[in-house]
Structure 1
């Protein structure tokens, strides 16, 4: 990546030289700057996730007087997932185009649009089409994740990426249970007739996040958009394999987060207050444990942690299928919350794999030192946007499967059976591509592997990515 011209980067907090792989630079200067940017990135992404998941809370306020049935509500909470997934691609490239700090300010301020419009329309008598359009606007909060992760990925050295990306994503993910807790507080105190109080909390927080980003974050001048990197990442089989795995981890997390309250209401006849008192638990635990998944991946390899996570998710899904068929709420909650925790672990592990995979490919090409690190950052940054977008669309799939399951069988059991089959596929793919035959021996550094062939024997040992 070539540094931009000075003229193109005037008027903001631009850092011209950045080399986190240099341990002296990192110790004397880099770590302090990266940590400061990470803190305020987490804040902005946290609020972005809250707004993205706003309608998982708003539907709990929508009683019979709103005239929206269960299938309509599942479709309503699916709409932000669709828009957020699509926006993750342009948001990824916005960081290099505008600067990480500058785009964080813009993306945070943009959250005012869905928050204000939701406050305007949230009342009985509003048409379903209007609700759908306003719900779609909250997708901008989902886009924040891609730009935030791409930005933080550039600040940290490879050896720290799992923990840093896990903290950034986990702190953002916590925005889901936090807004659900605020919804619970409003329903429990003011009642289900006052959804606008939730927005009254978030409107000033959005302004605070934008202002603090302007005051304390930085832009990295060496980070440039690279259409060649985007095309190369899109052509690489690993980008799409990791997208599949990220559907299984993050797609599960966000899909279940949006659907949990509706499943409780329709499967177990919980009231809005009863549902709201439970929905935040799973997303909260899944968010808190995401950095642990990144740390475990740093220590033991993302592929190994991902494989065990999918195996455990399959086991937890079996518990949920049993509880759903037997209509046992306590057992259902144990299995479902376990799915949240495991998806959080998997989120941290799979995202750690991305920079590791492309770093391994750089070494297999014969690149060394900063040249290899630069190649890894270039390709992994481009791939993250695509992988994050596809993973978010997995949440859309989960809500649509739930919608069909309840519409046809009046139960979530068929949906969970399909999720069980998908986790089995993800387990098999993780083992076959990244662990089968992997050992301490790596491919010859001088070898030029086929970038379209993901077989591990043609690549370095991916067990350590």
Structure 2
């Protein structure tokens, strides 16, 4: 049957059925994963488009100072965070394929608005904030994509599949930043609209690809009732908090890194154009490496447990934050001017933070299905219904956790904005971030790793992950 004529609705899907999985189910899941990654990738690019646009908007021409730019790039993050809640249940209500097509076409709105207004220097700051807010549509795509792919893959492969899906989507951030660099170098600072034009074409390709190759799972359920069920499990709130530290760091730094570099280069004597080019030539590296690290965080979590990987990651993020603080302090003592060696240390610290936050994203995401897989075993239901409850509840929580994590990105930009407005430096902000990573590590230990003195209910994550790992070991032994 041709791709155009085949039925795109799958009525009976059980990823845990090994025989069905090997007989062709894995190929169906892979096909949907590929186009889910592409759609989420484009969504992330559009979501982060204003982190690139501000490099084309010199203060003397647009009248927006660095503090104003931090707030401007935070607007899509804020809107995207809130959109992740309804996007989470959209795939179950409308179908994963159908929603992917619709949400892709929805990205045309922020692209067309940005294409027009980015070349209008006389536009008010309020108008720019409204236009930037529409880019939040791209941030919502993560929740629907992750919920959809969670339903396609068996428990033993969720860490890898969710990590690959999210990581491939996250790469949309450095890709649009790299395109911005290419436009700056080859065409100049007056051609930001070219970036929008390129993505208008890519959105069309994505929508067509999703229509041809993706499927709807008719038995998928992730409505608000499942989200409420998930939030009744105490560990769900701890997971959301940890995701602020990992994904919030990744997306917050992704949007802010270019501006921090641009400010540093201008302080060192670069013109606005030179600073923009130099910043763009470095800014994409961090999000790229962080995105590539995410699947490996999920894979490592599959092997040894998400909690263990998460606490180790936060420990390393503390060290990386100290490196950035050291470099920023050196620049502060030199009248805000970063020497070559100071810039090297600063960039190295940032790159480490990107890699670690990406790695941690994969680990924290893996904890979610682990919790509900174990919790489902205590329900007085047949095994098939337990599996469905676990899948639907974890899928609903992924969207909620993604929304809370994205708010962490808003927080990072707001703290940086305040730090630059009050001290003209990022040093104070990174002391705040360091303290937060300490708290995240403490929460990971207290909630997920500390051995309880008395017997506890089976939804404790320590038990949850041990049950999942035991099941995976049994599966591996059977191969």
Q: Same fold per TM (> 0.5)?
A: yes
Q: Distance in 2 between matches of 1:230 and 1:74?
A: 32
Provide TM-score, normalisation by structure 2.
0.90
Q: Give the C-alpha shift of residue 210 in structure 1.
A: 0.3
Q: Give the C-alpha shift of residue 438 in structure 1.
A: 7.4
The 3 A distance-change label for structure 1 pair 12 and 86 is: farther
Check if 1:60 corresponds to 2:55. Answer: yes
| RMSD value, Cα | 2.0
The correspondence for 1:214, drawn from 201, 211, 215, is 211
Check if 1:388 corresponds to 2:402. Answer: yes
Q: Distance in 2 between matches of 1:370 and 1:353?
A: 21
The 3 A distance-change label for structure 1 pair 227 and 186 is: closer
Q: Give the C-alpha shift of residue 267 in structure 1.
A: 3.6
Q: Give the C-alpha shift of residue 368 in structure 1.
A: 6.7
Q: Give the C-alpha shift of residue 373 in structure 1.
A: 1.8
Q: Give the C-alpha shift of residue 200 in structure 1.
A: 1.5
Structure-to-structure mapping, 1:78-157, within 5 angstroms: 78-123=74-119, 124-157=121-154
The correspondence for 1:170, drawn from 167, 170, 173, is 167
Count of residue pairs the alignment pairs up: 446
SS in 1 for 2:425: coil
The 3 A distance-change label for structure 1 pair 462 and 437 is: farther
Q: Distance in 2 between matches of 1:320 and 1:248?
A: 17
Consecutive unaligned residues of structure 1, counting only runs of 5 or more, are: 1-10
The 3 A distance-change label for structure 1 pair 240 and 346 is: same
Query: Structure 1, residues 271-307: CA drift from partner, whole Å, max 9, x if none?
Result: 0001000100000000011111111011111111111
The 3 A distance-change label for structure 1 pair 222 and 287 is: same
| Equivalent residue, structure 1, for 2:301 | 297
- 8 Å CA contact 2:151–2:220 kept in 1: the answer is yes
The 3 A distance-change label for structure 1 pair 58 and 455 is: closer
SS in 2 for 1:48: helix
Q: Give the C-alpha shift of residue 216 in structure 1.
A: 0.5
Q: Give the C-alpha shift of residue 12 in structure 1.
A: 6.4
Check if 1:357 corresponds to 2:371. Answer: yes
Query: Structure 1, residues 188-210: CA drift from partner, whole Å, max 9, x if none?
Result: 11111111111111110000000
Q: Distance in 2 between matches of 1:231 and 1:419?
A: 30
Check if 1:24 corresponds to 2:26. Answer: no
The 3 A distance-change label for structure 1 pair 460 and 216 is: closer
| Equivalent residue, structure 2, for 1:250 | 247
SS in 2 for 1:17: coil
**Stretches (4+) displaced over 3 A:** 364-369, 454-457, 459-465
The 3 A distance-change label for structure 1 pair 204 and 20 is: same
- 8 Å CA contact 1:61–1:195 kept in 2: the answer is yes
Q: Distance in 2 between matches of 1:103 and 1:127?
A: 34
| Equivalent residue, structure 2, for 1:8 | none
